[in-house]
Structure 1
């Protein structure tokens, strides 16, 4: 997987402003069926994954999903053992899980599925676009750049969902009538979802943190999975922890084979006129203009014996982008790795849109693993109100991520920020 690599996509339509305003007015008066939206839940398990201590899984599967035209309120997931017990990040580090929704020609889903899974693997290796950075960070859906998957003219990317190790404690449920529109790919098409799970078994490894950060020397890696030499100066990242790679394990450690699943739960509403679809924009802190370079990962150097609280031990990086759409903010979040201290999104006038601080565990149990990012603080806007927070089309957004150099170098780090909004000028979906 190249240094410019990993992950994947995003797109939506919206209801007309008049309909949204009318719906809100009726809801405020308390006499509408929109007051009690029927939220449904369904949970699935991925096929089993197995790993010996130090072994990497980066697998691709068909995804299970609720059928029909729906509005997604949330999709969240975690790793579980065969008995349903949660897997601690200190045993298997969940680098990421992602799901892509494709629209494919009707009655040809199975024919296309294998091709789409192969396409995901290739895209995972060679491309990181604005769309997939945003989607991964915001855990929501596609953008107007869905044509980036251009190999199969008849299949189109509709939605993207995903998170990393922070999945258990990062709130992503959209409030009120706001949803991610799914299951309506257009006349002559049907929906399929694909799933990617990347987990690193770090039991008994000589350096758990280093294995989770994919430091190349711990994997004895000098080439990537395709045998291509690593770039000069590349000391860690996804190119060194592909499927089947092995991180160094302590001599004499005897750990058995782990079998586990990704358990994922959908919250959704059958489509109706009360629902308000959202769109998203996103920014990757490794790129000076927000997304075009597609770097994704970055390395933070160490600071030796310097005072850990000094500026010498603080890494600050910043990216800007011009907002391609404008609208009222519904939700803002980031995707961040361990060693990150803070991430913040600012508007062109300097206003703080959201500070997405990582939450670190303090214990040993699953969901509270010490020194791991177990959640990320998200922010909710107040759409539909007189003081709604907004992003204007063409506005220059600024994204700042700060990390500690203490214990560095830290490799394979990410800083992906996303804003979910109700886009201006949205048309009613009749």
Structure 2
């Protein structure tokens, strides 16, 4: 009987070892296994050659409850779900952010209220904060009257990582922060330009006012003197000039923003990270201090250089005083065609994050030649500590071989208020990167194999002794 139990013990250890070696992710990925994902479609955007759709959607499909967002990816697709290439419809931008709606109210959100945020032009006559029925939930800063989105991107959306590393996530719908009598909802803005059959694709996607035959903005105000192109000229339902003889009568189609969400249910193993967006056009001045409002113009013009060669690079710099203390865990820039790089660094010149555009060289969706199809993201190996009142600088570079209108120099970062406790940080090391997971799993399994072999050897020796034992009693 004793021999049977020992053999059973050896068999159990071997089976346990096999279970661990064949499914290491269950043993080492921890919170990674808690991540949920879902795919949604926006309401349709109706486009035709040369048309602009700048649509605002309310109460979007989204996971409900107290959750932590881990990523938000999106792209334009047609009615068959097929990705749409940028050279047919240019995704100028999309952005998403939450708002609170009063329960039981039949009053719909005013679109003008949401037009002031994201990447759109500002109407100074519209309330920017809230109404009695709607309260907009903004990100951490800095441009609190314009760039308040939680996630946002543009043509680069297919090849830009939005994943938030463990143990961090963007906290959503904390019941303790929700105003009494309100419910949590989501707003989405999608700005797309159909460039099929147009005279000048680059001019259309850069919103040259002449190509749109526009002299006033969407609020009926005259364009400022010298304004050549940008958001003020490619608002909803404007039309970029199409080639003579191009038949656009039967080319109307319906498009959708397909967005994929990743999230976890909120618990004490998740650490919150806040969104901050820097704009190189911000008119904030250090001499005034942190009490000054950040007036972010969102876009600007790159004028063509007067000489030829490698020196034709437009450099725009700005500095900002930080309204927070914390740790930067992620960073990425947003640039348009002509972009070269964007870098965030400390006042002493120490680099924090450099984000560079990826250009396509083909025709298929995600690799369109001449378009920005991705931006590199930063995941600091050691989160970058930033102190309240510290000054950070942003530098944005564009090629100025030719001029560009309506370009942007935005930098998006995620800031954690705290780091994992030392005793709880080890499990997250196993989740940080796939390469680290495989190496650590291999080491752990190797140690486990050695322990099992040692136990088996000890049991085997004891069994042999007992098999050869003879009683002295008669």
Q: Same fold (TM over 0.5)?
A: yes
Q: Do residues 423 (structure 1) and 413 (structure 2) align?
A: no
Q: Deviations over 1:252-302 (max 9, x none)?
A: 122411221111111011111111110233311112438722211100111
**Would the aligned equivalents of 2:320 and 2:391 in 1 still touch at CA under 8 Å?**
yes
**Counterparts of residues 203-218 of structure 1 (less than 5 Å):** 203-218=196-211
Q: 1:82 to 1:231 in 2, by over 3 A?
A: same
Aligned residue among 71, 75, 80 for 2:77: 80
Map 1:135-154 to 2 at 5 A. 148-152=128-132
Match for residue 470 of structure 2? none
> Per the alignment, do residues 418 and 81 of structure 1 end up closer, same or farther by CA in structure 2, a change over 3 Å counting?
same
SS at match of 1:179: strand
Aligned position for 1:99: 96
Q: 1:288–1:318: 8 Å Cα contact kept in structure 2?
A: no
Task: Answer whether contact 1:117 1:194 (CA < 8 A) is retained.
Answer: no
Query: 1:167 and 2:157 equivalent?
Result: yes
CA distance in 2, matches of 1:122, 1:339: 26
Matched, 1:55 2:51: yes
Change (3 A) 1:417 1:34: same
Q: Secondary structure at the match of 1:155?
A: strand
TM normalised by structure 2 equals 0.73
RCO comparison, higher one (Cα < 8 Å, 6+)? 1
Question: What's 2:166 paired with?
Answer: 176
1:361/1:407 CA distance change after superposition, 3 Å: same
Aligned to 1:285: 280
SS in 1 for 2:121: helix
Unmatched 5+ stretches in structure 2: 1-25, 140-149, 286-292, 421-474
Partner of 1:367: 366
8 Å contact kept, 1:345–1:400: yes
Give the superposed CA RMSD: 2.4
Distance 1:31 1:50, change over 3 A: closer
Structure-2 change in CA distance of 1:300 and 1:328 (3 Å): same
Structure 1 unaligned segments of length 5 or more: list them.
Answer: 1-29, 129-146
Any idea what SS the aligned residue of 1:267 has? Answer: strand
For 1:154 and 1:365, how far apart are their aligned partners in 2?
Answer: 41
Deviation at 1:156, TM superposition (A): 3.8
Cα distance in 1, alignment partners of residues 86 and 374 from structure 2:
12
Higher helix share: 2
Residue 384 of structure 2 corresponds to: 389
Match of 1:321 in 2: 320
Is the CA contact (8 Å cut-off) linking 2:156 and 2:375 kept in structure 1?
yes
Structure number with bigger Rg:
2
Q: 2: CA distance between counterparts of 1:223 and 1:33?
A: 55
More strand by share: 1
